[in-house]
Structure 1
Amino acid sequence: MKFLTITLIVHTPDPATGRAVPTRERFRQVVESARVAEELGFDGFGVGERHEYPFVSSSPPVVLSHIAAVTSRIRLFTAVTTLSLLDPVRAYEDYATLDNLSDGRLELIIGKGNGEAQRRLFSVTPEDQWARNAESYELFLRIWRDHKVTARPRFRPELADAEVWPLPLQQPIRIWHGSATSRESVDLAARYGDPLFSANVTNPVEPYAQLVRHYRERWAAYGHDPAALAVGAGTAGFHVEKRSQDALATYRPAFEHQLAFMQQHGIEPVFATYEDYLERSSALIGSPQQIVEKVHRYHEHLGHTVLHLSADATGLDTATHHRALELFQSDVAPVLRREIPDPPWGWGSPATADLSDTAAVPVGG
């Protein structure tokens, strides 16, 4: 099993002090989180994309480019790239640049995104968002693979023998499809033979497991090799200490702050009590052994081989969160790495050929 830490770059006042750090400092915290993740031995670090409050993650390629400069090994993920909102040509330019700057460490998780404010900002409607997502993905992929493209898309101007620069380093690039509530993204991933990343955060496991089962069915229907299928999954919260009672006591105020934030903004919580949250959500709170056992329970439903934890302290102080990440790597990750298989491709670039500009140029390109 492989492990990522992920941030959506939420920028809200500290729940304990009521004060918010300057935006500049919030970005510095993200970069430091990535550096710590690499130092502790995590396999990947992800940055989300949101275009509405309370997030400042509107430009993940810029943030990830900075992270690429201060790290050397860790894989760099988007979580997710909201292709339904973006011009796929411009998105390609940003990510092909990042691919080169990171020495081919980039992996994309794509999705339509959600949120009414985001749709209004980019003039995307609920009726066309799935069509936009599929079209943008297909055109993005064509440009990455073919470089010179002729196309007549529905949602952007046509392309006539268009050359888009720079050439990427990885050929091909691994693209995951983020899955939360709908079958459209699941079917798109299965159709193209791409891995799936289940959000697995807001609800109990059953609706996510149902989508993963559908993905496996569609994967087989499209004729792909079952051995090549891969699923990732998120977690609703994380904290580990040597003793379960210490972990539960430490995290309780963090849960209560999250609950208060939802109530303040009129969001109906799925898990209204701490006990229900611990029992029915994907949160990993407890001793190392308890976390190992819960990941296995979720693995029985999802069959996932990649797991993400929050890169952010999320109601805890930073030092406490970093100690928990360190304990996860020392006492939890080694067990799960032994007992749950890795994705079927190893953990580097999806390309098997030499990563160079000449290798990246397609035949006839």
Structure 2
Amino acid sequence: MRFLAITLIVHAPDPVTGEQVGTAERFRQVVESATLAESLGFDGFGVGERHEIPFISSSPTVVLSHIAARTETIRLFTAVTTLSLLDPVRAFEDYATLDHLSGGRLELIIGKGNGSAQRDLFNVTPEDQWDRNAESYEVFRRLWAENRITYDTRFRPPLHDAQVWPQPLQQPIRIWHGSATSRESVDLAARHGDPLFSANVTHPAEPYGELIDHYRKRWIEHGHDPQRIAVGAGTAGFYAARRSQDAIEDYRPVFAGYLQAQKRLGVDPVFPTLEDYVERSSALIGSPEQIIDKVHRYHQRFGHTVMHLHAEAGGLPEKKHRRGLELFAQEIAPVLRTQIPDPPWGWGSPDPLLA
């Protein structure tokens, strides 16, 4: 099994202390989280893309380029690239450049994106967002493979014998499809034989499991080798301590902050208590043994071989969050790496010259 640490770069008051750092400090924290993840042996680091408050992750290529300069081996992910909002030609230029700057360590997780504010900002409607996502992906992947293309696009000026630079370093590049609640992303991934990354954050396991089942079914219907399926899955939260009782009590203020945030938004929480959250959500909170057992239970349902953890404290004291990540790296990850297989293509660049 392989492990990512990810951040959406939320820039908001700490849910426990109420303090908020400046923007420059917030970006510094993200870069430090990435270097810590590499030092702890994580396989990848992901940066989200959102174009609305309270996120400042509107330019993941810039952030990942800086992280590329501060790291050496960890693979760099987008989580997710919102292709439904972007001009695919401009996105290709940015990511092909980042591919070179990172030495071929780039992987993308694409998706249509969530949130009405960012959709309104880019003048995208709910009715056309999925079509935009699919078209942008088709253009992006063809540019990566062919560089010079003709494409009769609907949502940007058509391309006629268009050549775009720079040519990327990796050929091909691995592109995952982020999946949350809709079959459209699952169908797009299965049609192209691409790996799937399930959000697996907001709800209990079953809705995500049903989408993964649909993905596997559609994969086979499209004639792909079932042995080549790769699924990743997220986690709603993470904190490990030697004793489960300590993990629960340390996390209790964080969960209280989460409930307050849900109340301000007028949303009924899916998991009304911390105990329910620990039991029924994908959050990994407890002792190493409990966390290993829970990952296995999710693996039995999803068959996933890649998993992400939150890179940042999110309300936990920074020292405790770091100790939790260190415990994960020392006692949890080695067991899961042994007991759960890697993706069928292993790890590293899909380009054999860079793998």
Assess same fold via TM > 0.5.
yes
1:41-98 alpha-carbon deviations (Å, 9 max, x no partner): 0000000000111110000000000000000000000000000000000000000000
Residue of structure 1 in register with 2:259 after alignment = 259
Residue of structure 1 in register with 2:234 after alignment = 234
Question: How far does residue 112 in structure 1 lie from its aligned partner after superposition?
Answer: 0.2
Tell me whether 1:206 sits opposite 2:197 in the alignment.
no
Which runs of 5 or more residues in structure 2 are unaligned? none
1:237-263 alpha-carbon deviations (Å, 9 max, x no partner): 100011111111101111111111111
Q: Which runs of 4+ in 1 moved over 6 A?
A: none
Letter in 1 for 2:246: D
Tell me whether 1:77 sits opposite 2:85 in the alignment.
no
Tell me whether 1:221 sits opposite 2:221 in the alignment.
yes
Residue of structure 1 in register with 2:18 after alignment = 18
Tell me whether 1:58 sits opposite 2:58 in the alignment.
yes
Residue of structure 1 in register with 2:301 after alignment = 301
CA–CA separation in structure 2 for the residues paired with 1:102 and 1:334 = 26
Letter in 2 for 1:136: S
Deviates most, 200-209 or 319-328: 319-328
1:315-351 alpha-carbon deviations (Å, 9 max, x no partner): 1021111110010011100110010000011211101
Question: How far does residue 17 in structure 1 lie from its aligned partner after superposition?
Answer: 2.8
Question: How far does residue 265 in structure 1 lie from its aligned partner after superposition?
Answer: 2.0
Question: How far does residue 267 in structure 1 lie from its aligned partner after superposition?
Answer: 2.4
Residue of structure 1 in register with 2:165 after alignment = 165
Letter in 2 for 1:195: P
Letter in 1 for 2:303: G
1:219-242 alpha-carbon deviations (Å, 9 max, x no partner): 000010111110000000100011
CA–CA separation in structure 1 for the residues paired with 2:142 and 2:104 = 19
Letter in 1 for 2:293: E
CA–CA separation in structure 2 for the residues paired with 1:267 and 1:140 = 36
Aligned with 2:84: secondary structure? Answer: coil
Tell me whether 1:30 sits opposite 2:61 in the alignment.
no
CA–CA separation in structure 1 for the residues paired with 2:310 and 2:244 = 19
Aligned length: 355
Tell me whether 1:87 sits opposite 2:57 in the alignment.
no
CA–CA separation in structure 1 for the residues paired with 2:235 and 2:16 = 23
Residue of structure 1 in register with 2:310 after alignment = 310
Matches within 5 A, 1:341-356: 341-353=341-353
CA–CA separation in structure 2 for the residues paired with 1:16 and 1:210 = 35
Letter in 1 for 2:86: L
Residue of structure 1 in register with 2:109 after alignment = 109
Question: How far does residue 352 in structure 1 lie from its aligned partner after superposition?
Answer: 1.4
Aligned with 1:162: secondary structure? Answer: strand
CA–CA separation in structure 2 for the residues paired with 1:282 and 1:330 = 21
Aligned with 1:295: secondary structure? Answer: helix
Residue of structure 2 in register with 1:4 after alignment = 4
Residue of structure 2 in register with 1:98 after alignment = 98
CA–CA separation in structure 2 for the residues paired with 1:154 and 1:165 = 22
1:4-45 alpha-carbon deviations (Å, 9 max, x no partner): 000000011123332210000000000000000000000000
Tell me whether 1:331 sits opposite 2:314 in the alignment.
no
Letter in 1 for 2:173: I
**CA RMSD across the alignment:** 0.9
Maintained 8 Å contact 2:170/2:354:
no
1:156-211 alpha-carbon deviations (Å, 9 max, x no partner): 00111111011100000000000000000000000000000000000000000000
CA–CA separation in structure 1 for the residues paired with 2:57 and 2:65 = 13
Give the TM-score, by structure 2 length: 0.99
Maintained 8 Å contact 2:104/2:354:
no
Give the TM-score, by structure 1 length: 0.96
Maintained 8 Å contact 2:16/2:254:
no
Tell me whether 1:126 sits opposite 2:126 in the alignment.
yes
CA–CA separation in structure 1 for the residues paired with 2:219 and 2:31 = 36
Residue of structure 2 in register with 1:358 after alignment = none
Question: How far does residue 353 in structure 1 lie from its aligned partner after superposition?
Answer: 3.7
CA–CA separation in structure 1 for the residues paired with 2:251 and 2:178 = 27
Letter in 2 for 1:243: R
Residue of structure 2 in register with 1:39 after alignment = 39
CA–CA separation in structure 1 for the residues paired with 2:271 and 2:118 = 26
CA–CA separation in structure 2 for the residues paired with 1:181 and 1:30 = 28
Letter in 2 for 1:128: D
Residue of structure 2 in register with 1:360 after alignment = none
Question: How far does residue 354 in structure 1 lie from its aligned partner after superposition?
Answer: 6.0
1:257-313 alpha-carbon deviations (Å, 9 max, x no partner): 111111112222111111111111000000000000000000011000000000010
